[in-house]
């Protein structure tokens, strides 16, 4: 039996059973086990049971049973009430979830406590409100018919596949709308960070979610994830992860013409014009890249600054960044935690080296950081002398590394900003509101922030243009991706 063991952090983490959650039961996986590591201490938090392809099949079967049973018979209004109750239960245990999220991912506790868990609660409440408001229309139609009407039906079994950077948030952005619309869910969390998803399954079940409505199967992406994508009885894949995996997934999903939404990578431009409030822009650029250790899909990782203010902005930014000291993520004052894994830190530091070879200069950081001799910390990093064609300006680094690129005028910067395979998000800083709207309209990005960066709300849709994916999460837009529309014709 695989049992969760805690580290010597005090008070002890209240870890969930580190097994698979299928049909309302904790079961041992048949795919072996893997260690869930605390990236700040390098300690193993627990050994987690890994699902096999056969376990994925069992989870899909349990989800179908739920749709045929109690969960499928639950009225939309009662689904909403239940989601709201689950939100209350999660909110009441914010601290427990936050500490586990921070231990599993390395993000500062202030983020987990004040952003990640509250955002998950908010998504549950937002979609709880929609549960009994998803409805069709009636149409007057020609021919021997009195009318036609549409029904908005659940799709069936939704497989949610999530990354490691915002584990509880990404899971809830999928689970909440999927359940609100009456689907059953099989969630495969990222192997680096499976614990809050398991804990959430426990909490939802204790709060009254019927067995099989939510199943969680940790395990390898290429086996468990892939099996879910290929499974003929899975109606829809809601995927958040890298563009590379998303491409393969789309091919695999084609075989069964599966509904797919993809939330993928980014290399988002953050554009500062000379007429901006420079201090606000410095703060926005800093938060845009260093919040979440830069392991943020929408991170403002390409900073374009109008030449006239470039040097002044850079000086202020470096000065602010120099005060950002990596530290113990469990400490309430820490603002920069540990990268999620040793491999991730190696990859990010590798990009810094590539940047240097390409001719970039390190204005700050660029190296690993020592925090008590353990953990995968690195210094916040700013690279200057970067050209938009360089690898460090084109590829997603997914760490606390900012590249800065000077520009001359708005036409040039829009072209540079759009010169990317990605199109997830962008920022525009200017006091000229006309220019702000004009530039926002021209940017090929799913989200544009004006005079702010990195803000989200459950009510506002989020998703990508170009190779950053398709489909939208959050907002009423998300409901379209968890329902099928059926047209019913009524004879005279
Ligand atoms: P990843 O693509 O490596 O893995 C994501 C998930 O897919 C994991 O659960 C993984 O196990 C699974 N997976 C891997 N291979 C699979 C396969 N063949 N079939 C099915 N599932 C498979 O991504 P990651 O390293 O966990 O996360 C970082 C990436 O996620 C970054 O590129 C980041 O930009 C992206 N991301 C995007 C958004 C967004 O909303 N657009 C949000 C967060 C993260």
Q: What is the pLDDT of residues 47-84, one digit of tens each?
A: 999 999 999 999 999 999 999 999 999 999 999 999 99
- DSSP letter string, 127-193: HHHHTT-----EE--SSSEEEEEEEEEE-SEEEEE--SSSHHHHHHHHHHHHHHTT-EEEEE--TTS
The residue ranges of DSSP E strands in 358-492, in sequence order, are 361-364, 381-384, 401-407, 422-423, 425-429, 447-450, 465-466, 469-470, 483-491
Mutation test residue for ligand 1: of 242, 342, 445, 470, the one with most atoms within 8 Å of CB:
242
User: What is the reported pLDDT for 492?
Assistant: 87
* Distance, first Cα to last Cα, the chain: 63
Same domain membership, residue 289 and residue 240: no
Tell me how far apart the alpha carbons of residues 97 and 117 are, in angstroms, rounded to a whole number.
7
What's the gap in Å between 166 CA and the centre of ligand 1? 11
Give the residue, by CA position, lying nearest to ligand 1 atom 9: 190
Structure tokens at 413: 């910067």
What's the gap in Å between 242 CA and the centre of ligand 1? 4
Give the residue, by CA position, lying nearest to ligand 1 atom 21: 225
Mean pLDDT over each residue of the chain, to the nearest integer: 96
Same domain membership, residue 191 and residue 43: yes
In sequence order, the β-bridge partners of residue 260 are 237
Q: Does residue 13 belong to any structural domain of this protein?
A: no
341: CATH: 3.40.309.10
What's the gap in Å between 179 CA and the centre of ligand 1? 22
User: What is the reported pLDDT for 410?
Assistant: 87
Q: Does residue 136 belong to any structural domain of this protein?
A: yes
Give the residue, by CA position, lying nearest to ligand 1 atom 10: 221
User: What is the reported pLDDT for 1?
Assistant: 34
What's the gap in Å between 307 CA and the centre of ligand 1? 36
Q: Confirm if 168 and 272 have CB atoms less than 8 A apart.
A: no
Structure tokens at 65: 């049973």
Q: Does residue 137 belong to any structural domain of this protein?
A: yes
Same domain membership, residue 229 and residue 314: no
How many Cβ atoms are within 10 Å of 444's Cβ, its own excluded? 17
Q: Does residue 404 belong to any structural domain of this protein?
A: yes
Same domain membership, residue 319 and residue 204: no
Same domain membership, residue 232 and residue 100: yes
**pLDDT grade, residue 205 (50/70/90)?**
very high
Whether the pLDDT of residue 6 is over 80: the answer is no
What's the gap in Å between 176 CA and the centre of ligand 1? 19
Sequence-separated (6 or more) residues with CB below 8 Å from residue 160? 171, 174, 175, 178, 185, 186, 187, 188, 238, 239
- 250-253-259-263 Cα dihedral, nearest 10 degrees: -30
What average pLDDT does this structure show over 4-31?
Answer: 82
Residue where the block lists tokens 């837009």: 477
Give the residue, by CA position, lying nearest to ligand 1 atom 24: 163
Give the residue, by CA position, lying nearest to ligand 1 atom 43: 297
For the CA of 219, the closest atom of ligand 1 is: 11
Q: What residues are annotated to the active site?
A: 263, 297
Tell me how far apart the alpha carbons of residues 293 and 334 are, in angstroms, rounded to a whole number.
11
Same domain membership, residue 481 and residue 448: no
**Domain of 105, in residue numbers:** 20-264+469-491
pLDDT in tens, 29-47: 999 999 999 999 999 999 9
What's the gap in Å between 189 CA and the centre of ligand 1? 9
What's the gap in Å between 261 CA and the centre of ligand 1? 13
Same domain membership, residue 103 and residue 237: yes
Same domain membership, residue 485 and residue 420: no
Give the residue, by CA position, lying nearest to ligand 1 atom 12: 221
Q: Confirm if 42 and 50 have CB atoms less than 8 A apart.
A: no
For Cα atoms 403, 409, 414, give the angle at the middle one, nearest 5 degrees. 65
Q: Does residue 311 belong to any structural domain of this protein?
A: yes
Give the residue, by CA position, lying nearest to ligand 1 atom 32: 242
What's the gap in Å between 169 CA and the centre of ligand 1? 14
For the CA of 262, the closest atom of ligand 1 is: 41
Whether the pLDDT of residue 218 is over 80: the answer is yes
For the CA of 266, the closest atom of ligand 1 is: 34
Whether the pLDDT of residue 2 is over 80: the answer is no
Same domain membership, residue 426 and residue 336: yes
Mutation test residue for ligand 1: of 104, 163, 165, the one with most atoms within 8 Å of CB:
163
Same domain membership, residue 411 and residue 350: yes
What average pLDDT does this structure show over 171-199?
Answer: 98
pLDDT in tens, 120-170: 999 999 999 999 999 999 999 998 999 999 999 999 999 999 999 999 999
Q: Does residue 135 belong to any structural domain of this protein?
A: yes
User: What is the reported pLDDT for 8?
Assistant: 45
Q: Does residue 463 belong to any structural domain of this protein?
A: no
Residues contacting ligand 1 via CB (< 6 Å): 161-165, 170, 188, 190-191, 221-222, 225-226, 229, 240-242, 245, 248-249, 263-266, 297, 396, 398, 424, 464, 468-469
155: CATH: 3.40.605.10
**pLDDT grade, residue 10 (50/70/90)?**
low
pLDDT in tens, 370-414: 999 999 999 999 999 999 999 999 999 999 999 999 999 888 999
Q: Does residue 14 belong to any structural domain of this protein?
A: no
Closest by CA to 238, choosing from 475, 483, 473, is 473
The 3-class SS string of 178-203 reads HHHCCCEEEEECCCCCCHHHHHHHHH
For the CA of 228, the closest atom of ligand 1 is: 20
Same domain membership, residue 485 and residue 354: no
pTM: 0.96
Q: How many domains does the chain have?
A: 2
pLDDT in tens, 226-274: 999 999 999 999 999 999 999 999 999 999 999 999 999 999 999 999 9
Same domain membership, residue 354 and residue 414: yes
For the CA of 241, the closest atom of ligand 1 is: 30
Give the residue, by CA position, lying nearest to ligand 1 atom 8: 190
Q: Which residues of 131-156 are buried (b: 16+ CB within 10 A; e: fewer)?
A: beebebeeeeeeeeeeebeeebebbb
pLDDT in tens, 411-424: 899 999 999 999 99
């Amino acid at each position: 039996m695989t049992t969760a063991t805690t580290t010597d952090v005090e008070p002890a983490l209240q870890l969930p059973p580190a097994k698979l959650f299928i049909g309302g039961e904790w079961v041992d996986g048949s795919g072996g086990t893997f260690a869930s590591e605390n990236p700040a201490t390098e300690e193993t938090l627990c050994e987690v049971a890994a699902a096999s392809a056969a376990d994925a099949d069992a989870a899909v079967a349990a989800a179908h049973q739920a749709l045929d049973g109690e969960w499928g018979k639950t009225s939309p209004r009662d689904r909403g009430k239940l989601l709201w109750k689950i939100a209350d239960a999660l909110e009441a245990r914010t601290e427990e979830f936050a500490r586990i999220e921070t231990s599993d991912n390395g993000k500062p506790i202030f983020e987990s406590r004040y952003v990640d868990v509250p955002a998950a609660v908010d998504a549950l409440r937002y979609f709880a409100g929609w549960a009994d408001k998803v409805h069709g229309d009636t149409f007057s139609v020609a021919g021997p018919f009195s009318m036609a009407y549409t029904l908005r039906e659940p799709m069936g079994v939704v497989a949610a596949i999530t990354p490691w950077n915002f584990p509880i948030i990404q899971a809830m952005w999928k689970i909440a709308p999927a359940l609100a619309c009456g689907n059953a869910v099989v969630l495969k969390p990222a192997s680096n960070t499976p614990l809050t998803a398991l804990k959430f399954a426990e909490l939802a079940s204790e709060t009254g979610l019927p067995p099989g409505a939510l199943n969680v199967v940790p395990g390898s992406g290429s086996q468990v994830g892939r099996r879910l994508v290929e499974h003929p009885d899975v109606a829809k894949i809601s995927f958040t992860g890298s563009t590379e995996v998303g491409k393969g997934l789309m091919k695999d999903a084609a075989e069964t013409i599966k509904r797919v939404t993809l939330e993928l990578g980014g290399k988002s431009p953050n554009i500062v014009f000379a007429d901006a409030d420079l201090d606000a822009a410095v703060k926005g650029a800093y938060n845009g890249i260093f919040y979440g250790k830069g392991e943020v899909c929408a991170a403002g990782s390409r900073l374009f600054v109008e030449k006239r203010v470039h040097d002044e902005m850079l000086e202020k930014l470096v000065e602010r960044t120099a005060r950002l000291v990596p530290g113990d993520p469990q400490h309430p004052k820490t603002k920069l935690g540990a990268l999620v894994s040793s491999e991730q830190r190696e990859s990010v530091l590798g990009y810094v080296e590539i940047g240097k070879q390409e001719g970039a200069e390190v204005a700050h950081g660029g190296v690993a950081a020592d925090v008590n001799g353990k953990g995968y910390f690195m210094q916040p990093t700013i690279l200057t002398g970067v050209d938009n064609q360089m690898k460090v300006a084109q590829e997603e680094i997914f760490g606390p590394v900012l590249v800065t690129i000077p520009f001359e005028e708005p036409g040039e910067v829009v072209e540079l900003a759009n010169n990317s395979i990605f199109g997830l998000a962008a920022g525009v800083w200017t006091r000229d509101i006309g220019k702000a709207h004009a530039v926002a309209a021209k940017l090929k990005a799913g989200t544009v922030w004006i005079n702010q960066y990195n803000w989200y709300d459950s009510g506002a849709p989020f998703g990508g243009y170009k190779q950053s994916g398709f489909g939208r999460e959050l907002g009423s837009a998300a409901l379209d991706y968890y329902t099928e529309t059926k047209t019913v014709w009524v004879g005279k």
